[in-house]
Amino acid sequence: MADTSARTLRLLTLLQSHRYWPGEELSTRLGVSARTLRRDVDRLRELGYPVEARRGVDGGYQLAAGAALPPLVIDDEEAVALAVGLQAAADGSVEGIAEASVRALAKVVQVMPARLRRRVEALRSVTVPAQWQTDTAARIDPDTLTAVALACRDTERLHFRYRAADGSATERHTEPHGLVRLGRRWYLVAYDLTRQAWRTFRLDRLAAPEPTGARFLPRTLPAEDAAEFVRAGLQGQPRPHRVEVLVDAPAATVRQKIGAWSEIEEIAPGRTRVRMNADALEWPAMALGSLEVDFRVVSPPELTALLAAWGERFTRCTGPDERAESGR
């Protein structure tokens, strides 16, 4: 039975690595007869893998698209590439897939051998993300992200250190409910066992997450879902800057470039209202500049002043160097 199972996995690996396999070549690779190969193919079909067969002199086998995605078999190189790619997606470079990427990353990391984890970490440490990094977009340690995601999935109590906005540090013992990405930040929604209340925790302020091994029965969240709970909590918090801008571009164009960090509303053909919260105005200024279209600041006036100062500085940079001229 062990030999049969190993051979079936080997057959699955071959089918997933090649578009089409002639039957004779596949039998040779596996070291079995054509009859045994047909039985192994039937076994894969029973497990839900849609294997198509072509009869005749040039007959063979190939995997086809099925009604559902069956389990995949990947090699070491593919596992490392998958983990690195999912970490990049979790950083939010593609709108709408960050949370799904974290769930998938947690599954991959959970079964990944230590030697492959070290390769993933080495690649991540020497890879510079191609996006702006500011205090409003603090990077999250992938190990922290996956540890919290696994605790949420497994309904396992989680202990961690947490740094509040005022810099004070506390130890938290929680029942994690779910992860939410809003704007440019990740949040954990959890029931705080010490304070006996539901809380929202920013992941960039969370450190040393340790699953305790203790399972729990999920409590009823006092909101429609985790995202709504986070939004409700943030509405009551003061934000240094609430930005509103009118942009001379279609909403689809604006959403594609900065939709992950702002609210987009089309108010007329080719005219879009953009709203965003910011701890510092430099980020909205850079984001709006990346649109490469005209826009008008509605609020706050501090953003108008910042853009004017930047404009004057950029204008000076394009002119002659007055200090060099005076030194001649």
Q: Structure pTM?
A: 0.53
Rounded to an integer, what distance in angstroms lies between the CA atom of residue 124 and that of residue 101? 16
Alpha carbon distances (Å) from 285 to 60, 239, 245, 309, 319:
59, 17, 11, 11, 22
Most confident of 10-19, 25-34, 95-104, 236-245: 25-34
User: 5 is written with which tokens?
Assistant: 């199972």
Rounded to an integer, what distance in angstroms lies between the CA atom of residue 288 and that of residue 305? 15
Which residue did the predictor score with more confidence, 268 or 150?
Answer: 268
Rounded to an integer, what distance in angstroms lies between the CA atom of residue 80 and that of residue 131? 22
pLDDT in tens, 223-256: 888 888 988 887 666 567 889 999 999 999 998 8
Which of 50-64, 65-79, 142-156, 309-323 comes out lowest in average pLDDT? 65-79
Cα-based angle 244, 250, 253 (whole degrees, multiple of 5): 90
Determine the distance from the C-alpha atom of residue 283 to the mean position of all C-alpha atoms in its chain, rounded to a whole number. Answer: 21
Which residue did the predictor score with more confidence, 277 or 321?
Answer: 277
Considering only CA atoms, which of 277, 172, 206 is closest in space to residue 235? 277
Rounded to an integer, what distance in angstroms lies between the CA atom of residue 179 and that of residue 201? 10
The widest CA-to-CA distance across the chain, in whole angstroms, is: 91
Mean pLDDT of the chain: 81
Residue 272, phi-psi category: left (phi > 0), alpha (psi -120 to 50), beta (remainder): beta
Rounded to an integer, what distance in angstroms lies between the CA atom of residue 265 and that of residue 296? 15
Backbone dihedral angles phi then psi of residue 61, each to the nearest 5 degrees:
-135, 155
Instruction: Please determine, for residue 308, whether its predicted confidence score (pLDDT) is greater than 90.
Output: yes
Rounded to an integer, what distance in angstroms lies between the CA atom of residue 148 and that of residue 143? 9
User: Which position has the token pair 């302020």?
Assistant: 205
Alpha carbon distances (Å) from 235 to 7, 87, 179, 229, 308:
57, 29, 18, 10, 30
Determine the distance from the C-alpha atom of residue 7 to the mean position of all C-alpha atoms in its chain, rounded to a whole number. Answer: 35
pLDDT in tens, 196-218: 999 999 988 999 999 998 999 99
pLDDT in tens, 121-134: 665 554 444 444 44
Backbone dihedral angles phi then psi of residue 3, each to the nearest 5 degrees:
-65, -40
Q: Please return the burial class of 90, using the count of CB atoms within 10 Å of its CB with bins 0-12, 13-18 and 19+.
A: buried
Rounded to an integer, what distance in angstroms lies between the CA atom of residue 99 and that of residue 140? 13
Instruction: Please determine, for residue 104, whether its predicted confidence score (pLDDT) is greater than 70.
Output: yes
Rounded to an integer, what distance in angstroms lies between the CA atom of residue 73 and that of residue 70? 10
Residue range 64-92: average pLDDT? 69
Which residue did the predictor score with more confidence, 37 or 12?
Answer: 37
Residues in the chain: 328
3-class DSSP state of 144: helix
